[in-house]
Amino acid sequence: MTTKRWNMNDIDKNQSYIKEAAGILQAGQTVAFPTETVYGLGADATNPQAVSKIFQAKGRPEDNPLIAHVATKEQLQRLVTSIPGYVDKLIAAFSPGPLTFILPSNGICASNVTAGLDTIGVRIPNHPVALQLLKEVDIPIAAPSANISGKPSPTTADHVFNDLEGRIAGLVDGGPTGVGLESTVIDCTQEIPVILRPGGVTKENLESVIGHVLVDPGIIDGEGKPKSPGMKYKHYAPEVPLWIFEGDSNGFQELIEKEQQSNHRVGVLCSNQFAVQLSHDNIYQLGDSMEEIASSLYDGLRYFKQQAVDVIICESFPESGIGQAIMNRLRKASDSTIT
Ligand code: TXA
Ligand code: MG
């Protein structure tokens, strides 16, 4: 199949592009589109045949449920049987935004969206293109990240195209995404909500609005069975080994040199502050702030996939705020942590 690509920079044509993309979604085909976190690969969540095209295009295991995307709280309410009071507060504070609510499903979405679970993940993305598209289609859109399963999530339209050209009907190019890491997934079926996947809205953000929030232990120690089915897969992985280095720049430099002595070509992912302290010729600088680092992390992982390196070594980051999500994704992509 030929993948049609619409460039949303073309302001005059925006409206007609959105209409065209919406028409393709309504006809049961797949369309990738930007959100504030990563690009999503969308299909009509009420149409099981359309949803199965997502799994085919990505090569995604079918026991991994998808998030339904909607434009408004009213549309969200149409997909679930009940909404606890604390979710109303979270919606008021963070939606549209990078927060996915797991709620009891009323069965309106196809059973392959929820992988047969009686709950559904729903979110209102905070991106003008996503919101326009969702308003135009007026149906819930199931959308996982628009990458081949197991690869880093896409933060640019080119990332999507590299992975899925010829496998999907359309791609709305809205430029690079902002947050760069996927939404926070929060289980709202319990009295106290549980973070199943750390993401754009941090634990601290959530607690400032509703008080105590739990974290699924499967996320923290990588042991046990994570409640979010997707969290058990090795994810976001570049094709060469990725090591996380915990220590100062002297230790980092020593490790680089040790690898080089073994004739290993080393790619380094680190903050700008760290980069100036290293002497190495193959460094991808992730940025200054933790927000910049989150936003460029997946591009960095993809960058080294195209480079002739034998190992990628990444700096370790503090696990507060967005740092939790950064380290969660890095650990899932990595083979070992070097201390
Ligand atoms: O930011 C995002 O969330 C992006 C954009 C496109 O919205 N989407 C995304 O989707 O990251 P995906 O499919 O790559 O990740 C969805 C995560 C998976 O870990 C999945 O297991 C979990 O959400 N999930 C979905 N429905 C669930 C449910 N009913 N119960 C528990 N976990 C669920
Ligand atoms: Mg994904």
pLDDT digits (tens, 9 = 90+) for 265-318: 999 999 999 999 999 999 999 999 999 999 999 999 999 987 889 999 999 999
Name the pLDDT band for 233 (thresholds 50, 70, 90).
low
Confidence at residue 236, expressed as pLDDT on a 0 to 100 scale: 54
| Average pLDDT score over the chain | 93
| Number of residues in the chain | 339
- Distance between Cα 149 and ligand 1 center (Å): 13
- Is the Cβ atom of 120 under 6 angstroms away from ligand 1? yes
Least confident range from 46-55, 70-79, 227-236, 244-253: namely: 227-236
Q: Residue 248's pLDDT band (boundaries 50, 70, 90)?
A: very high
Closest CA to 152 of 240, 216, 217: 240
Domains of the chain listed by start with CATH number:
4-221 (3.90.870.10), 242-338 (3.40.50.11030)
Residue 316 near ligand 1, beta carbon < 6 Å: no
Question: What does the pLDDT read at residue 183?
Answer: 98
Please tell me the predicted confidence (pLDDT) of residue 223. 44
Cβ contact 242:218 at 8 Å: no
Instruction: Tell me if 105 CB under 6 Å of ligand 1.
Output: no
Helices (H), the chain: 14-26, 48-58, 73-77, 85-94, 128-137, 157-164, 203-210, 217-221, 249-261, 272-275, 290-305, 323-333
Separation of CA 144 and ligand 2 centre (Å): 6
Q: How far is CA 182 from the centre of its chain?
A: 3
* Mean local confidence (pLDDT), 200-204: 95
Ligand 1 nearest-atom number relative to CA 37: 1
| CA 236-240-246 angle, 5° bins | 75
Is the pLDDT confidence value at 235 over 60?
Answer: no
* pTM of the model as a whole: 0.94
In this predicted structure, the answer to whether residue 225 has a pLDDT above a threshold of 90 is: no
Check whether 123 is labelled as a binding-site residue: yes
88-107 pLDDT, tens digit per residue, is 999 999 999 999 999 999 99
- Nearest ligand 1 atom to the CA of 119 is 29
Whether ligand 1 lies within 6 angstroms of the CB of 182 is answered as yes
Give pLDDT, residue 167. Answer: 98
- Annotation-wise, does 153 bind a ligand? yes
